[in-house]
Structure 1
Amino acid sequence: MDVDLRKLRYFVAVAEELHFGRAAERLHIAQPVLSRQIRALEDELKVQLFARDRRRTELTAAGEQLLADARPLLAGANALRLRVGRAARGQNSFTVGFMPGLIVTAAVRALSDRHPELTVNVVRTNWDDQVEVVRDGRVDVSYIRLPVDQSGLTVRPLMSEPRVAVLPADHRLAGKETIAIADLADEHLLQNPDAVPEWRDIATELRDGTRVAVGHFSAVEEKLEHVATGRGVTVLPLSTATFYTRPDIVHVTVRDIPPNQVCLAWEAGRRSPLIREFAALAESL
C-alpha cells in the first residue's frame, strides 16, 4: 500500500492543532473534506488515529506513532522536490547553513575558488532549525552545535569549544576567571533547560516550582537583550559570546560542564561529490 502524502499532510495538521476546524482553516479546505480524508487514511492504515468526543480530539497510540514518522517523511519529500526543481532549472548552487558565532567564510571561499561556476550561498540558522534546514532541503550542509537529533543525518565532528555564562556587566559573578555551574543554580536560564542539563538538574526554580515571568528564547540577540536588563543569564559557546560582544554584558567560563561540539551535517542518503569536497575543506580549515 502506498501512503498518500497529501493525506499525511492533512493528518499532521490535525495532530498539531488537535482540532479539525482549526486544521481545516490552516489547510484552506472545508472541514467535511478534511474529515473524509482522515477517515480514508484510517481505512487505508486499518487503525484509528484520533479519539474524539464533543469536547476534545486526542491522538491514539497509532496516531502518536504516525505523527513521529510522518514529519520526517514529509520533510524528505519536500527536500526531494526542492532538489529536483533546482536540477530541472539548471541551477548550479550549493547552500551552507551556519549557527551564530561560527565563521564559515574560509570553507565557502575555498569551494567557490575551486568551482568558479558554482554559486555558494549561506543561511543563518538557530537552535530550533539547525538540522531541519538539512532535512527540508533548504541547505546542502549545515554547521551545527550538538546536541541534536542525528537520525537520518551524516554528522562529522569539526571542533569543540568551551561554554561560558553570559551575565549582566554588574552581576555578582562578573569579573571572575571561571565559575562552576552550581554558581548559577539560583539564576533564571533564558534558554531551553535541556540545552544545559547540568543547570537543569540543580536549578532552584525547577526544583521548587518557582514561576518565572521571562521565558526561554532561541535567538541569541533576544537572550542577550534580556541578560543586559538583568532578567536572567544564558550559557553559550565561547565563539558565540565573543561574536556578540557588547559593553553591558560579560561572559565567564563555566569550568565544570562539557565543551560545545561543532559538527558538519548533511542528509545521510545524499552522495553528492560537492558535499564530500566541502566536508573535507571544512575539516582541514
Structure 2
Amino acid sequence: MELRHLRYFAVLAEELHFGRAAERLHMAQPPLSQRIRDLERDLGVRLFDRTRQRVRLTEAGALLLEHVRPVLEGVDTAREAMRRIRPGEAGVLRAGVPPDTNPVVLPTLTAGFARRVPDVLIDLHELTTDEQLARLREGELDAGVVRHPADTMGLESGPTARRELGVVLPAGHPLADSAEPVRLRSLNGAPLVIFPRVMAPRLYDHMQTVCRDEGFLPGAIRHARNPHFVHGLVLAGRGVHLNEAPAAPLPEGLVWRPLAGAALAWTTSVVWVPSRHNEAVAAFAEAVIEGLTAAGHRIGSVPSAADPAASSPADPADPAAGS
C-alpha cells in the first residue's frame, strides 16, 4: 500500500466520479482506475461499487476512509512543518549583522531584500562574527554577515566587500591636521583602543600583526566594546582607534584621518550552511552587497573556507566590530 494510492482513494471517495477525481489529481482516468484496483487487490476488499450511472463507497470503503483522512492530514502537517524549517520558507529569514554595521547599510539592505523576495520578512540580529558562526552551525540563523578572518570551514560564502580603515584621533593630536594619510608607524608608541580579544580572537590577533608589521607597536592596549566608550577614551587622550570613515559626524574634539597604504580594511561577506541555501538566502547575500556598496565598500572575490584573509596583511577586519 502506497501513500499516493491512499490519496487517490480519498479524492475518489469525495468525488464519487472517476473523471472529476482524475482531473483533481492531474492524471488520466485509466491510471486512476488501475491504482484503485491495485489498492483493492492489496487490501483484499472491494472499496467502490461501480456502475455506468454512479460510483458508491462500499462498507469497507467507508471504514477505510475514516482511517485514511487523519493519516493524510498528518502527512500534510508534517510536510508543512518541514517546509517551515527551511530558511525563508516560513516567511522569515533569520540573519546576523555585526554590532557596528554602518547605518547606511541597513536601509539599503532591507529594501533590497524586500524587493527581491517580497513575501519573506527579515529578522536581523546584532551579533559578532563568532556568535553568528556558532548560531549558523546550530541552525539558529539562516545567514550571517561576518568579518574576516573567521573560521568559515564547512560554510559557503558570497563575495567579499572591502573598505579601508582610518584612525580616530583627538583634535589636538599632532597628526589630526595632517594633509597626508597617516602612516601606521607614525602612531608607534600610542595606546590603542580595541575590542576585547574574547569577542573575536582571529580579528584581534590579525589586527595586532598588521600593526606590528607596519611599525605600530602600541604603548598600551585598552579594550572597549561600546562606540561611545571608545570615543570617550580617545577624547580623554587614552588612545587612538582604528575604524572606517564615520557615517555621521564624530563627537566634537575627535577627527578621523585615512591611513596610508590601505594596510587595514574591513573584509566582509555573507555566509550560510550549504544545505540551507535557497532563494531567500541568495536574495539576502545580494542585498547585503548592495548595502555595503552604498556604504563605500568595494566588492572583491569569494573567500575560501580556509579564509586566506587570515594570513594576508592586506585584508584585516574592523577592530571595533568585535565581529
Give TM class, smaller chain. Answer: 0.5 to 0.7
Instruction: Give the C-alpha shift of residue 145 in structure 1.
Output: 2.3
Alpha carbons of structure 1 residues 159 and 283: separation in structure 2 relative to 1, 3 Å: same
Deviation string, structure 1 residues 256-284 (Cα, Å, up to 9, x no partner): 21432221122244232211232234345
Alpha carbons of structure 1 residues 195 and 226: separation in structure 2 relative to 1, 3 Å: farther
SS at match of 2:111: helix
* Cα contact 1:97–1:133 (8 A) shared by 2: no
Q: What amino acid is the match of 2:210?
A: E
SS at match of 1:280: helix
TM-score (norm 1): 0.57
Distance 1:105 1:132 in 2: 26
* Cα contact 2:210–2:264 (8 A) shared by 1: no
Q: Does 1:270 align with 2:276?
A: yes
Distance 1:221 1:132 in 2: 27
Q: What amino acid is the match of 1:266?
A: W
Distance 2:149 2:249 in 1: 22
Instruction: Determine the structure 2 residue equivalent to 1:198.
Output: 210
Mapping 1:1-285, distance limit 5 Å: 87=85, 91-99=90-98, 100-102=100-102, 103-126=105-128, 129-176=131-178, 177-191=180-194, 192=197, 193-196=204-207, 197-201=209-213, 202-205=215-218, 212=220, 215-238=222-245, 241-243=246-248, 245-256=250-261, 257-283=263-289
Identity %: 20
Distance 2:97 2:236 in 1: 28
Distance 2:249 2:274 in 1: 33
Q: What amino acid is the match of 1:97?
A: G
Q: What amino acid is the match of 1:101?
A: T
- Unaligned 5+ residue runs, structure 2? 1-80, 198-203, 292-323
Deviation string, structure 1 residues 222-279 (Cα, Å, up to 9, x no partner): 32221121111111123xx334722221111111214322211222442322112322
Q: What amino acid is the match of 1:178?
A: P
Instruction: Determine the structure 2 residue equivalent to 1:80.
Output: none
SS at match of 2:192: coil
Distance 1:267 1:222 in 2: 35
Deviation string, structure 1 residues 64-119 (Cα, Å, up to 9, x no partner): xxxxxxxxxxxxxxxxxxx989739x953112322223313223223224444422
* Cα contact 2:143–2:271 (8 A) shared by 1: yes
Distance 1:244 1:86 in 2: 43
- Unaligned 5+ residue runs, structure 1? 1-82
* Cα contact 1:101–1:243 (8 A) shared by 2: no
* Cα contact 1:157–1:261 (8 A) shared by 2: no
SS at match of 2:282: helix
Distance 2:240 2:275 in 1: 39
SS at match of 2:223: coil
Q: What amino acid is the match of 1:223?
A: V
Deviation string, structure 1 residues 128-186 (Cα, Å, up to 9, x no partner): 53534433444322222222222222222242111101112221211224111101111
Distance 2:128 2:169 in 1: 21
Q: What amino acid is the match of 1:228?
A: L
Distance 1:227 1:85 in 2: 51
SS at match of 2:166: strand
* Cα contact 1:152–1:267 (8 A) shared by 2: yes
Deviation string, structure 1 residues 22-43 (Cα, Å, up to 9, x no partner): xxxxxxxxxxxxxxxxxxxxxx
Alpha carbons of structure 1 residues 243 and 95: separation in structure 2 relative to 1, 3 Å: farther
Distance 2:224 2:108 in 1: 30
Alpha carbons of structure 1 residues 119 and 226: separation in structure 2 relative to 1, 3 Å: same
Distance 2:289 2:252 in 1: 34
SS at match of 1:107: helix
Distance 1:218 1:131 in 2: 19
Q: CA RMSD in A?
A: 3.1
Count, aligned residues: 194
Instruction: Give the C-alpha shift of residue 122 in structure 1.
Output: 1.6
Distance 1:182 1:255 in 2: 10
* Cα contact 2:170–2:235 (8 A) shared by 1: yes
